[in-house]
Amino acid sequence: MDDSQSPGKADVVRLLLESEGRAMLCLDATRSGVMVPRRFAKDIELRLILNRNMPQLIDIGAEAIESELRFGGIPHYCVIPYEAVWGVFNPDTRHGMFWSESMPEEVRARFGLAEAAISLPVLPAPAVAPPDPEPVEEPPPVPSRARVGLQVIEGGGSEHADPPRKRPPPNLRLVT
């Protein structure tokens, strides 16, 4: 797939949020215009998860994604320009797309990609139905009422057993 056929980053984010509910952004937080908490500002492999059920607005604009995201439960207003995004995918289904031309050199080398590598699409075309998931081997069913086998042990602690307790009589009243 060449760049003219490749969907834009905003389109991939929208498609994943609308069709699958989640999108993980892989970004280089060192790029100009990125606003994230200071402790993540030097991370070239920062991953942020967007979820369509998030209570706050996710603005998927023409130049950047803007939203108030939570880091350790603390809200922080974030701006993620598309130039900083090098991957968008759903971690559950692995649908998404990577743009190798936007990846930092260290990340590209780790993936074993040449400098001039083209985008690596892993998002199915919208007109094509997603493939059937591979069958997952299920564990054997657990009986709903498992019987526990008990065994009497001769002389097994009878001298240490607590004496039986008498129950108090029931305390019921008839209310008329």
Please give the single-letter amino acid code of residue 53. N
Q: Confidence class of residue 7 from pLDDT cuts 50, 70 and 90?
A: confident
Domain range list for the chain: 9-121
- Superfamily of 9-121 according to CATH: SspB-like (2.30.30.220)
Q: How confident is the model at residue 150, as a pLDDT?
A: 46
Note the pTM of the prediction, 2 decimals: 0.63
Cα–Cα distances in Å, from 53 out to 48, 95, 143? 15, 19, 36
Q: How confident is the model at residue 108, as a pLDDT?
A: 87
pLDDT tens for 30-82 read 999 999 999 999 999 999 999 999 888 999 999 999 999 999 989 999 999 99
Q: Confidence class of residue 156 from pLDDT cuts 50, 70 and 90?
A: low
Q: Which distant-in-sequence residues (6+ apart) come within 8 Å of 97 by Cβ? A: 6, 7, 9, 12, 87, 88, 89, 119, 120, 121, 122, 123
Contact 63, 81 (CB under 8 A): yes
pLDDT tens for 89-136 read 999 998 999 998 899 999 888 878 765 444 445 555 444 444 555 555
Burial bucket for residue 143 (CB in 10 Å: 0-12, 13-18, 19+): exposed
Q: How confident is the model at residue 113, as a pLDDT?
A: 75
